[in-house]
Structure 1
Amino acid sequence: MKTTLQPIDANTLDRDLQHSAMIKLEGHFHSLATGASQAPLQSLDSHLRSEIQDAQVLDYHDRLIAGAGPLFSHFLASVPYILEELARVGVALTRLAHANRNDTCQTFSLFEVDAFDGSNGRALTGHSHGLIRSLTCSPNQANQFAFDQYADPALSLFLPQSVFKPTPALLQSPELEQFREGFDFIYEMAAFQFYTRDRARQISHIKQFLKPGGLVFFLEKLNHPDPSEYLRRERIKDEEFKTRYFSEEEIHWKRQQMLEHMQNGQVTLDELVGALSSRFKTVQLLWSSSNFCELVASDDPEQIKQFVDLLGPVVQPSEFCFEATRIGSMAPSSSGGKEPSDA
């Protein structure tokens, strides 16, 4: 049975925001978003480019890099092979939109949850030639500079606020009229972990913006029941990937100063699957890299099947995928079905 929860109310929202890592790290995020600190040391162009056989994925890859602002560039350099994964998913979404289009006037919509400067949403609108329109929110107002520099305002819009500020009524405003019926696709860009562990209410909040049968994606850095395994995956991420882009000093500083705040909001994979399974008919794990996982959920199993059938191959060294045996349809384990508690 699906659990129906009310959206986060104003009091809960204010409490969560004021005590969240999103606020505590506000100065750090501003520094990253303006390029003042921790900019990648070299080009983000994929070192696995020769393994990408699909010309459409290469086009998406190039759009992502060309339009990336400072904070999104830092993100691409911090999460192993997320660049290649976002390109794979973006191409599949474009093909899904084309396959489901009923007439030449129909367009589709993407809501990016706290997604930096909207780099991925803008890449999707460009790659789909406007077939998919995007709305990005971010509580870091410095991200708007990069967004405004690269965005086509007819195709992509930006809300300089946390995802927990908008309500469905906001979509009825003249500025957001094109999204008044909700979104075909929603993508949470590693955002919830910076608030609390209350995935139940977080998921319920964004689901109210999703059209019936729409697809919602969750990219999250997850905790692990075994702390030593969590740290092992972190070391591989830092030593085998991040050293391409950051100095040892920068990696150490981030580990000590930033990740301790972020980890307070992380949940395990089973906890996330449990929260999703109580709110959606179908949940699938699409991708795993170090402690990061990407899942898709929907109340329309056929829509997920159609999307997955359009996905090209993962482009990533196998040693970074620690959840390979769990890729595909998921159900909560006996321990993972419990609702995560608020931190």
Structure 2
Amino acid sequence: MKTCPQPLDDASLDHDLQQSAMLKLADHFHSLATGASQVPLQSLASHLRSQIDDPRVLDYHDRLIAGAGPLFSHFLASVPYILEELSRVGVALTRLAQASDRPAGRTFSLFEVDAFDGSNGRALAGHSQGLIHSFTSSPNRANRIAFERHADPTLSRFYPQSFFKVSPALLQSPEYRQFGQGFDFIYEMAAFQFYTRDRDRQIAHIQQFLKPGGLAFFLEKLNHPDPQEYLRRERIKDEVFKTRYFSEAEILWKRQQMLEQMQNGQVTLAELVAALSARFKHVHLLWSSSNFCEFVASDDQEQIERFLALLGPVVQPAGFCFEGPRLGAMSPPPGSAGGTADV
């Protein structure tokens, strides 16, 4: 059985949070979340829509865009083809829940880790017709405005604090009691990098809320051992994708003002795989785009295989997938403290 690091007391936790990029950049995130700056210049509808053959993925795509608040819209316009990827994963999770051998009336649950205004969780709840309920944390209070504008409160809940403030006691409170038994699915939405590089503590904190056999997803922007390769991937993201949605001046401003703070919390692919392998028996790389990668991890290999069997094809130009040869089951780096990840 894996152990969790000892929780920090409230004063220590508050001090650490105040030192994090997540809160140091709070004013900027507030500006994005209220639509005061960095608003995409055109519709976020996928220019690869004609390549999506599955009508359910198209439905998810449309729900995601229709319910997106300003900060999540900015995110979709900043991470190449994450819109298409979230849509294919959301449909696969819905199909996985529908295909499960479950008692009548049983629902499933998703914990979105610091996931903006809960756009993806709300899309999943709606697409699954209430079969999956969502719980979203976010320390950016402005995200609650967009959440409450679009959310069905019987299906989705919002907690206006850092994921580190989520506790078993909180999930037993009247407002969140429906999640008191934990979550079937957890999705970290590129959140860890805004705190520290301590992936073991971060992963351990959210893992305690995952039900046995559950699936945990990790979307991360990763450092690269070769700084020049990191910058090359950044240039392709900025010059080939982001220019669809932002001016050159906006892209340059963000690079100068934000990315240093963000990069301080990023880890390499090998470091993340080692941290995940120390906590989960099975780790699988699902998707790669520029410097972003998406993983699924679980102690239940059969559940991962069921999910993968329901996962449709990636919709993305090949030139953005830099980790293509590594897609699939991952092993921890030699000599790491990792556990028994897949080979």
Cα displacement (A) at 1:5: 2.9
Consecutive unaligned residues of structure 2, counting only runs of 5 or more, are none
TM-score by length of 1: 0.96
Name the SS for the 1:312 alignment partner.
Answer: coil
Residue of structure 2 in register with 1:185 after alignment? 185
Residues 8 and 319 from structure 1, CA distance in 2 versus in 1: closer, same or farther, beyond 3 angstroms? farther
Matched, 1:112 2:112: yes
Cα displacement (A) at 1:336: 5.7
Name the SS for the 2:166 alignment partner.
Answer: coil
Residues in 2 aligned to 1:26 and 1:101: alpha-carbon distance in whole angstroms: 43
TM-score by length of 2: 0.96
Residue of structure 1 in register with 2:279 after alignment? 279
Cα displacement (A) at 1:15: 3.4
Which residue identity is paired with 2:97? A
Residue of structure 2 in register with 1:327 after alignment? 327
Residue of structure 2 in register with 1:125 after alignment? 125
Q: How does 1:1-343 map to 2 (within 5 A)?
A: 3-10=2-9, 11-334=11-334, 337=337
Cα displacement (A) at 1:338: 7.7
Residues in 2 aligned to 1:73 and 1:194: alpha-carbon distance in whole angstroms: 19
Mapped contact 2:188–2:219 kept (Cα < 8 A) = yes
Cα displacement (A) at 1:200: 0.4
For each residue in 1:293-329, what CA deviation from the matched residue of structure 2 results, as whole angstroms up to 9, or x when unmatched? 0000001111001001110000000000000000000
Cα displacement (A) at 1:335: 6.2
Cα displacement (A) at 1:4: 2.1
Mapped contact 1:270–1:337 kept (Cα < 8 A) = no
Between 223-232 and 94-103, the greater mean CA deviation after superposition: 94-103
For each residue in 1:186-235, what CA deviation from the matched residue of structure 2 results, as whole angstroms up to 9, or x when unmatched? 00000000000000000000001110110000000000000000000000
Residues in 2 aligned to 1:3 and 1:108: alpha-carbon distance in whole angstroms: 24
Between 166-175 and 271-280, the greater mean CA deviation after superposition: 166-175
Mapped contact 1:219–1:295 kept (Cα < 8 A) = yes
Name the SS for the 2:285 alignment partner.
Answer: strand
Residues 338 and 104 from structure 1, CA distance in 2 versus in 1: closer, same or farther, beyond 3 angstroms? closer
Residues in 1 aligned to 2:133 and 2:15: alpha-carbon distance in whole angstroms: 32
Mapped contact 2:119–2:147 kept (Cα < 8 A) = yes
Cα displacement (A) at 1:102: 1.6
Residues 302 and 143 from structure 1, CA distance in 2 versus in 1: closer, same or farther, beyond 3 angstroms? same
Which residue identity is paired with 2:121? G
Mapped contact 1:8–1:201 kept (Cα < 8 A) = no
Mapped contact 2:278–2:338 kept (Cα < 8 A) = no
Mapped contact 2:197–2:266 kept (Cα < 8 A) = yes
Which residue identity is paired with 2:278? S
Which residue identity is paired with 2:4? L
Cα displacement (A) at 1:101: 4.1
Mapped contact 2:277–2:338 kept (Cα < 8 A) = no
Residues in 2 aligned to 1:337 and 1:50: alpha-carbon distance in whole angstroms: 44
Name the SS for the 1:97 alignment partner.
Answer: helix
Residues in 2 aligned to 1:304 and 1:265: alpha-carbon distance in whole angstroms: 28
Which residue identity is paired with 1:170? L
Residues 250 and 44 from structure 1, CA distance in 2 versus in 1: closer, same or farther, beyond 3 angstroms? same
Greater RCO, 1 or 2 (C-alpha within 8 Å, sep 6+): 1
Aligned residues: 338
Name the SS for the 2:235 alignment partner.
Answer: helix
Which residue identity is paired with 1:68? A
Mapped contact 2:276–2:338 kept (Cα < 8 A) = no
For each residue in 1:266-307, what CA deviation from the matched residue of structure 2 results, as whole angstroms up to 9, or x when unmatched? 000110000000110100000000000000000111100100
Mapped contact 1:96–1:306 kept (Cα < 8 A) = yes
Residues in 1 aligned to 2:286 and 2:240: alpha-carbon distance in whole angstroms: 22
